[in-house]
Structure 1
C-alpha cells in the first residue's frame, strides 16, 4: 500500500480510536510498520532511518553511573567492612541506618578541562550517596562520596562535605531530612488515632468523609502535606490537608487541616498541635468538638466528589469545532535528519553545534562542552532548582514552598508521546536511573528533533519600481535543534526545552502544565486567587526555575559587561533652534565583583559575557549576550519564614559568581526543610571576589507569577505558563552566521526586468510512505 504524505498523516490520525495500548506501544507499532518499506528507489520517506552517527571527540566524563557501578557501590556500602551498619530500606524503621539514594558526583571542572583541551588524564569518577542514620546517638542524614570507580581496592567512602557552606557539610539534622516511607509510617498511627476520634465530625462536614489510617479500608479521605517540615532541624512538623482521593485530588481539597509535631525518632512522643478549618485554629479535639456541637463549623459549598471535570480527556459538552477530526499540523524532518549522534557518549552535532548530554536524578538532563563551529561557549548548562511558593490563608497554601529536586525531579522525567509531546519521527532516548540496587529505565524520556521556526531566520526585499516590486530579495529558512524532556513532579508537568539555533544563539525555555495545587474556596478571598470550581480556589503562587550557565567564551578568562541605555541631554549645532534635548547613548562598564542583580527597568541594559582578550575583525571583544525573553522573574516574597535563607538563588533574576569546584550547585537536595539554617546558603557565594577576567558562572531564573484562572481547569496550559531566555552572539563573529546556509532563496531583477531565481539545490522533496500489506495486528487497531 502506498500513502502520500497527507494521506499518511490522516492515517496516523485514526490510530487507537477504540483501545488504549500500553504507553510506548504506539511508537513501537508505527516504527515496525514503517520499517516495512518498498525497495522502490523513486520514493523517499518522511521518516528516514535514525540520525547519522558520529564519534564524540572524547568520552563523556559527565555521564551518569552505569548499572554496574551503581550495584557495585550499593554492595560496597552494605559490606560490613564499610562499618555503616546498614539495613535494607524495605525493612528499615526510624532508628535504622539505610541508603536513601545513590547518584553520580559532579566531576570537578578543574579536572575535566585538562582532559578535554589537552593531554590530561581521564578524570576519576565518583558516586555520591545519602544515608539516613537513625541509629546514631544523634541521628542525622549524611552524604558520602565513594570512589574512584569502578569499585576496587583503592575505592574509599568519605563524608561529602566540600560542596556545602552551611557549617555542617553533608550532614542534615534528622528532623530536616527527606520525609520518606518510614517517617510517614511512623506518623500514621497518631494521625489515625486523632482522625478516628473525630470521624463523626468529618463525616458530617465532608459528605461521609473519614480517615482511619492509611491501611484501613474504611478511610475514604486521602491526605497530603507540603514543605518545609522544619525550620532549622531542631523540630519537625506536618501541616496535613485532607482531600477526596482520585486522579484529580489536587483539585478537590477539603477545608480541614491537621497539624502535628513529629520531632525525633520516638513516635510515641509525637503530638497534636491543632486543627484548622473555616480559617480558625482549634488547638485540641475538645475545642474542635465544642465548635462542631455549637454549629459553627461548616462551609458554604460542598467539595465535588466526582472530579471528572478535572480530567484531561475529551469534553464533548464544550462544543464541536469544525474540521477538528483532522490531524493537526506537525513538524516533519523531510529528507532525513540533519543532526548526528553518538548515543553511547550522549553526544550531539548539529549545524556547527556540538555538545554532550548528561543526567542527574535530582537535576534531570544537563549539557556540557557546548561549542559552536568548534569554539566553546558554555562549559555547563543545567537546571538547578524548581521552586514554587504559595500564598493563602490556609496552612497548605500559606505555608508551602517546594524545591522539586527534593523529590528527585530527574526520576520524574517520563515517557514522551510521539506526535504530541514531540514531533513524529523525533529521536527518542531512554532515561536510566538507579533505585537502591536496581536500575529503572524510563523509555523515550528525551526527544531530539529539528523544528521549523515558522519564520525566516533573516530576509530583506530591496524595493524597486519594476513589475516585481524589488531588485534583490533574499530569505533564509529558520530552523533549530530542540532537546526536550518533561518532568511530572507531583501535580506539575514541567517541559524543559533547549533550542540550538542556526545563527549560533541558544534558547532555554520552560513551560508548566498540570494540576493546580488548589485550596478550598471561601467567599471574599479573591486576594489569593479566583474561584475555579464549586468549592475550589486557584491558589496564587510563583514558579521559579533556577539555571546555571558556566560560560567559557574562548577560554576561562571572561567578564560581564553591562551596557546601559541612558537618556542624556545634548544639543546639535545643525539644529540650534531645538536647544538642549534628550538623546540616548550607551554607558558600558564591566561588573567588578560577584553579585545578585535584576534586569534594568524597561530592559534598558544589555548584559554580555565576553572575553576582553579576544576580538573580532573589527576590534570588538567577542562575547555572548544574555537576552531576557518571556517572564524572567524572581520570587515575589523575599522574607518569608518558609523560604528565609534556603531559597536565596530564587530571589534575583540574575547572578554572577566566579567558578569554584566547591560551588557546583545553587542548592542542596534536602535544603527545603532548613529555611532558617540551610545546608547550602547561596548568598554565601557572593563574598566580594573579582569577576573581571575570571572563570564566570551566570545563574539565571525563569518562571511565572501564576495568576490562577478558571482556564487552569482541568490543567494549566503551556501557551501561557511559559518563560525563556536567549544567549546570542554579540560581536562573537564578524558577521551574522546565516551566509553559509543553503536553505535560502535569492532573487534578482536586472535592469531589463529579467528575474533570476536561485534555490542553491535545496528543493521541496516529496515523500511517500510505502508499506507492505499491513500485519493482522495493524488491521485490528487502524481503520485501513
Structure 2
C-alpha cells in the first residue's frame, strides 16, 4: 500500500462588498484629506494594543492571567483588534458633517477560570488611552460555548504531550509499520494534523488527529494511524482516547490495537523506508526545468518611479483612492473605495474561506475547515521579494495581537505594485480595405495590485485586489501550498485521487 493522500476538496471563499448608502456624496480629494480620513479605518498600532492590555489587566475583578501561563484554567486576553465604528458615524465624518468617531478596540477574553467557563467579547476605549470597557451583546442572547473556542498554542503543546503519552505502547508497531515514532525518535519523529470540526454535536471538543512523518511537507506523509481524542476537560489528565483508526480498521483504544497487532490480527503493509534525498514532498527541485534557469526571466521596472502613492493606510492610483487594513480573523480589507472622486464601495473584504474534504479515513470524512476560526488574517507572513511580489513593490508591515502577551510584527506582510497586463486597455485598427488603414489607436493596460497571503497551516491563499484604469475592480484568490491528505486504502479510491 503506497502512502498517497486521497481526498476531494471543495473551496469556498466569501466576500463582502458594502455599497455607499449615499453615492451622491463628494468631497475635495487632496492627499492630506485622504490620509486623514483613511486613519479612521487603520488597524491598531502596537502602542494601542499594549494600552488595551494594560488597562484590562488593571481591572482586578476580571482576574486575568498571561497567555504564557501554563494552565487552561485561566482568564486571559486571546485577541485584540480594531472595533469598527458604526457605518453611519463614519459616513458623517467622511462627509464633513460629523466628528471623528471614537476609536475602540474589540477584545476577546477566554474565561477559563470561572465556574462556568465562557468566551466574551468586549469593546474597550477610547484609544489611545482607554478608560472604559463593556461587553458586546450577542445575537439572540446565546452565550458562546467554551468548547467552541479556537485551539491555543498552549493547548496544542498539551495535545502533543498527550499524543506522545497514549502512543507510547505502540512504539514497536510504529517502528515496524512506518519507521517513525515519538519516544527517543531522533530524526525519525512523528507529527500530527488535527481535523475540524471537533465533534458531531454542539459542545463537543473531540478531535481526530492524523499521525504523520515529521519531514518536509509532512502534510502528505500520513502513516495510516488516526486517533480520536476527547479534550473537553480543562485538565489534560482527563483527556481520553475514544477511538483509533489504523490502516483501515477501527479500534476502541491504542492498547486494543497493540494487542491485536501482537496476535497477528492486524493486516499492514509496511511503508517504504524513508529516503531524505529526492523526497517527493520537498520544495527542493529534483529535476532540471525545461526553461533555462541560468538566464533570469522578465522583471518589472519603473523608468521614472512609482505612479501611485501610499501614505499611511491610504492609497492613490490613476483616479482610485482607498484605505486598507488587515484583520486577525479575515485578513486584508479595503474601505472608502472611490474612483474619480465618486464613492464606489464602503468596504470590500474577504469574509470567510471554507474547505470541504472527504475521504475514507475518519479524519478525511470529518474535515470541513472554516479558516477564520484558525485566525486566517493573522497568518499573513513576510512576502518574498521577486517571488510573492515584484522587487519594486511597496511593502508594509502588519501587527496582530492574538494568543500572545505582546503585539506581533509581521514584516512586509502586504505589498502594493503596478504592473502591465500585457493586454491593451482598449485598441482599434481601422482598416480602409484598400491595403492600408485609416488609423490605429490603443492604450496600454496597467493595473494596481494590493496583495497579502494567508498560510492556513498546509495551504496558502494569495489575496489580490486589482484596480484597472477604466474603473474596474477585480478581486482574485490564488491557492497553493500542500493538499490535506489521508492514508491510502483500497476502499478510498471512491473518495479521491491517488
Question: TM-score normalized by structure 2?
Answer: 0.87
| 8 Å CA contact 1:259, 1:273 repeated in 2 | yes
1:231 deviates by: 4.3
Tell me, in whole angstroms, the C-alpha distance in 1 between the residues paired with 2:71 and 2:187: 26
Give the 3-state SS of the residue equivalent to 1:525 in structure 2.
helix
The residue that corresponds to 1:330 in the other structure is 299
The residue that corresponds to 1:165 in the other structure is 139
Higher Cα radius of gyration:
1
What does the per-residue CA deviation read over 1:340-393, in whole Å, with 9 as the maximum and x for residues that have no partner? 222x2x111111111111121222121001011111010000111121111101
Residue among 307, 332, 351 paired with 1:365: 332
Does the C-alpha gap of structure 1 residues 340 and 239 become closer, same or farther in structure 2, counting only changes over 3 Å?
same
The residue that corresponds to 1:623 in the other structure is none
1:218 deviates by: 9.8
Give the 3-state SS of the residue equivalent to 1:113 in structure 2.
helix
The residue that corresponds to 2:210 in the other structure is 241
* Long gaps (5+) in structure 1: 1-52, 532-784
The residue that corresponds to 2:156 in the other structure is 184
The residue that corresponds to 1:451 in the other structure is 419
1:413 deviates by: 0.9
1:112 deviates by: 0.4
Which stretches of structure 1, 4 residues or more, deviate above 4 A after TM superposition? 185-190, 216-219
| 8 Å CA contact 2:108, 2:119 repeated in 1 | yes
The residue that corresponds to 1:200 in the other structure is 172
**Is 1:73 the equivalent of 2:52?**
yes
The residue that corresponds to 2:197 in the other structure is 228
1:337 deviates by: 1.5
1:522 deviates by: 2.1
**Is 1:151 the equivalent of 2:120?**
no
What does the per-residue CA deviation read over 1:98-132, in whole Å, with 9 as the maximum and x for residues that have no partner? 11121111221121000001320101111111111
**Is 1:106 the equivalent of 2:84?**
yes
| 8 Å CA contact 1:96, 1:135 repeated in 2 | yes
Tell me, in whole angstroms, the C-alpha distance in 2 between the residues paired with 1:438 and 1:488: 21
What does the per-residue CA deviation read over 1:222-269, in whole Å, with 9 as the maximum and x for residues that have no partner? 122122124454331121111111231112111001112222223333
Does the C-alpha gap of structure 1 residues 148 and 303 become closer, same or farther in structure 2, counting only changes over 3 Å?
farther
1:529 deviates by: 2.2
The residue that corresponds to 1:313 in the other structure is 284
The higher-RCO structure (CA 8 Å, 6+ apart) is 2
| 8 Å CA contact 2:352, 2:371 repeated in 1 | yes
Q: What are the residue-to-residue correspondences of 1:377-776 with 2, within 5 Å?
A: 377-434=344-401, 436-468=404-436, 470-523=437-490, 525-531=492-498
Does the C-alpha gap of structure 1 residues 374 and 239 become closer, same or farther in structure 2, counting only changes over 3 Å?
same
Q: How many pairs were matched up? A: 464
What does the per-residue CA deviation read over 1:604-652, in whole Å, with 9 as the maximum and x for residues that have no partner? xxxxxxxxxxxxxxxxxxxxxxxxxxxxxxxxxxxxxxxxxxxxxxxxx
| 8 Å CA contact 1:252, 1:303 repeated in 2 | no
Residue among 29, 32, 57 paired with 1:55: 32
RMSD: 2.3
Give the 3-state SS of the residue equivalent to 1:203 in structure 2.
helix
Give the 3-state SS of the residue equivalent to 1:55 in structure 2.
helix
| 8 Å CA contact 1:355, 1:371 repeated in 2 | yes
Give the 3-state SS of the residue equivalent to 2:467 in structure 1.
strand
1:475 deviates by: 1.5
Give the 3-state SS of the residue equivalent to 1:172 in structure 2.
coil
1:306 deviates by: 3.6
Give the 3-state SS of the residue equivalent to 2:144 in structure 1.
strand
Give the 3-state SS of the residue equivalent to 1:456 in structure 2.
coil
1:310 deviates by: 1.5
The residue that corresponds to 1:8 in the other structure is none
The residue that corresponds to 2:27 in the other structure is none
Give the 3-state SS of the residue equivalent to 2:41 in structure 1.
coil
Tell me, in whole angstroms, the C-alpha distance in 2 between the residues paired with 1:291 and 1:193: 20
1:405 deviates by: 1.8
Give the 3-state SS of the residue equivalent to 2:68 in structure 1.
helix
Give the 3-state SS of the residue equivalent to 2:395 in structure 1.
strand
Q: What are the residue-to-residue correspondences of 1:202-351 with 2, within 5 Å?
A: 202-207=174-179, 209-212=180-183, 220-300=189-269, 302=271, 305-306=274-275, 308-315=279-286, 318-321=287-290, 323-342=292-311, 344=312, 346-351=313-318
| 8 Å CA contact 1:495, 1:510 repeated in 2 | yes
| 8 Å CA contact 2:177, 2:269 repeated in 1 | no
**Is 1:125 the equivalent of 2:99?**
no
| 8 Å CA contact 1:176, 1:230 repeated in 2 | no
* Long gaps (5+) in structure 2: 1-29
1:474 deviates by: 1.4
1:412 deviates by: 1.4
Tell me, in whole angstroms, the C-alpha distance in 2 between the residues paired with 1:100 and 1:365: 20
Tell me, in whole angstroms, the C-alpha distance in 2 between the residues paired with 1:462 and 1:189: 74
1:56 deviates by: 3.9
Give the 3-state SS of the residue equivalent to 1:292 in structure 2.
helix
Question: TM-score normalized by structure 1?
Answer: 0.56
Tell me, in whole angstroms, the C-alpha distance in 2 between the residues paired with 1:220 and 1:149: 47
Give the 3-state SS of the residue equivalent to 1:184 in structure 2.
helix
Tell me, in whole angstroms, the C-alpha distance in 2 between the residues paired with 1:486 and 1:235: 31
Tell me, in whole angstroms, the C-alpha distance in 1 between the residues paired with 2:187 and 2:151: 25
